[in-house]
């Protein structure tokens, strides 16, 4: 693993991450179990720093490292330092699995923070389930997963759509055009969207999927012009978001009469496309950078001070940040010799943290988080104006689209 070790050395130097601590080998007497030792707690950081999804995953890496540094600066976990082992899975699911095995089996990490796409999460899941380790996943996702070895800190469909879809129908109308990238996440989100639309008496005039990385939307734009939907519901991801918005604007389409409503367009994608291309369109998310809480002001200021004044925070970097603090709080409840993946999992159940979005909580039954949904409209300056937010946090229901199934502490149950 010479190459991987070199990447870690380079990454640590670039990020200023505990270079002075060296690379302690944290082994316990039982070499099959990852646990804290020698006054340090090893944790894996598994986000793509190269490849197609690095455009967003590098920001998740930064938020994770920043949270680790904050915990260490405050004295660590009961005096023990968190030591990050950084790997670059290069936007490739197979490499994600390979790096996950290294972090769990060779590096003996007590937990691993990582992944953006569902494909990469699915790739690493067997590693964590077989080795009884713990993976922390910060991304909004499609639900339909129930694992005792993953802490899910991103939103599931009900937390983004339950308020969003009725609000859009009331404000703009009942004829909808669904456009998404061609993989599991958009299809499952659209499945839930269609259920909500049917309940509201709305109709889907078109449903279309494009390959990941797709950049030519002229035919899609022409169909939009022909169908004249009231709302374009977009679950397009990555660089395709930038291309779609720019071509929508170039075609002269008007967000005042036919807005795009997205679950995936954050400040990060807007920074890439420019505020003018995104202005007037809507996103539903638990977090926006403009949030006025003291916790968010501290988060944004610290992030920009550390990584650059032009950097933006967004709803996945926020969950990547707060999940590290949840880990720290859970580990602090344990004696040093008891800090194992399974013990951390039990300790984090019901744990609360005042995140930049507001107070959040880990649901003990399904290891997903209670979050605070918001609806934002993008402004010309690239930031969002929050138009609506939930009165309280919203319970995660990863199987809400499948009412005969429920994720419980004992596993997936058929009702």
Place of tokens 């709080």: 329
pTM recorded for the entire structure = 0.89
What mean pLDDT is predicted for residues 88-105? Answer: 97
pLDDT digits (tens, 9 = 90+) for 108-165: 999 999 999 999 999 999 999 999 999 999 999 999 999 999 999 999 999 999 999 9
CA distance 270 to 64: 22
To which H or E segment does residue 206 belong? strand 203-210
Q: Name the nearest CA neighbour of 59 among 356, 318, 324.
A: 318
Distance from the Cα of residue 12 to its chain's centroid = 23
DSSP string, 255-316: TTTS-EEESS--HHHHHHH-HHHHTT-EEEES--TT--SHHHHHHHHHHHHHH-TT----HH
The overall average pLDDT reported for the chain is 91
Q: Output the CA torsion 101→104→107→112 (10° steps).
A: 110
pLDDT score of 15: 40
What mean pLDDT is predicted for residues 297-309? Answer: 97
Strands (E), 214-316: 231-235, 260-262, 282-285
Mean pLDDT is lowest, of 13-27, 87-101, 292-306, for 13-27
Contact between 21 and 82 under an 8 Å Cβ cutoff? The reply is no
pLDDT digits (tens, 9 = 90+) for 152-163: 999 999 999 999
CA distance 384 to 290: 7
CA distance 222 to 208: 13
Ordered domains of the chain (ranges, CATH): 2-155+293-370 (3.40.50.2300), 158-285+374-414 (3.40.50.2300)
Contact between 160 and 174 under an 8 Å Cβ cutoff? The reply is no
Does 294 have pLDDT greater than 90? yes
pLDDT digits (tens, 9 = 90+) for 174-212: 999 999 999 899 999 999 999 999 999 999 999 999 998
pLDDT score of 213: 85
pLDDT score of 310: 95
pLDDT score of 22: 30
Q: Name the nearest CA neighbour of 274 among 257, 249, 292.
A: 249
pLDDT score of 52: 80
């Amino acid at each position: 693993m010479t190459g991987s070790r070199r990447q870690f050395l380079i990454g640590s130097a670039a990020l200023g991450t505990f270079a002075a601590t060296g690379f302690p080998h944290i082994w316990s007497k039982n070499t099959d179990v990852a646990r804290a030792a020698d006054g340090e707690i090893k944790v894996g950081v598994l986000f793509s720093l190269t490849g197609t999804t690095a455009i967003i995953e590098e920001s998740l890496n930064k938020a994770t490292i920043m949270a680790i540094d904050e915990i260490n600066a405050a004295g660590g976990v009961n005096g023990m330092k968190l030591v990050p082992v950084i790997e670059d899975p290069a936007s490739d699911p197979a490499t994600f699995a390979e790096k996950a095995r290294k972090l769990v089996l060779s590096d003996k990490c007590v937990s691993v923070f990582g992944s953006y796409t569902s494909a990469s999460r699915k790739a690493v899941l067997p590693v964590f389930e077989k080795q009884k380790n713990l993976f922390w996943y910060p991304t909004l996702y499609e639900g339909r997963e129930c694992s005792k070895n993953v802490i899910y800190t991103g939103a599931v469909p009900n937390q983004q759509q339950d308020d969003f879809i009725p609000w859009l129908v009331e404000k703009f109308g009942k004829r909808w055009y669904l456009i998404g990238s061609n993989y599991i996440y958009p299809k499952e989100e659209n499945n839930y969207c269609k259920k909500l639309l049917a309940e509201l008496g709305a109709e889907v005039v078109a449903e279309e999927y494009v390959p990941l990385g797709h950049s030519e939307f002229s035919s899609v734009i022409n169909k939009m012009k022909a169908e004249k939907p009231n709302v374009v519901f977009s679950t397009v991801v990555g660089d395709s978001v930038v291309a779609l918005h720019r071509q929508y604007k170039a075609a002269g389409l008007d967000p005042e009469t036919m807005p795009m409503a997205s679950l995936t367009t954050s400040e990060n994608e807007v920074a890439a496309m420019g505020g003018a291309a995104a202005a007037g369109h809507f996103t539903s998310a638990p977090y926006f950078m403009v949030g006025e809480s003291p916790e968010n002001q501290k988060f944004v200021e610290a992030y920009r001070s550390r990584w650059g004044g032009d950097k933006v925070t967004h709803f996945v970097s926020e969950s990547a940040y707060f999940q590290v603090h949840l880990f720290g709080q859970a580990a602090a409840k344990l004696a040093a010799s008891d800090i194992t993946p399974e013990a951390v999992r039990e300790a984090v159940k019901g744990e609360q943290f005042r995140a930049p979005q507001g107070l959040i909580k880990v649901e003990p039954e399904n290891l997903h988080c209670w979050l605070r949904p918001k609806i934002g409209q993008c402004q010309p300056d690239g930031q969002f104006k929050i138009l609506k937010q939930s009165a309280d946090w919203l319970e995660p229901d990863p199987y809400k689209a499948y009412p005969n199934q429920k994720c419980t502490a004992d596993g997936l149950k058929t009702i």
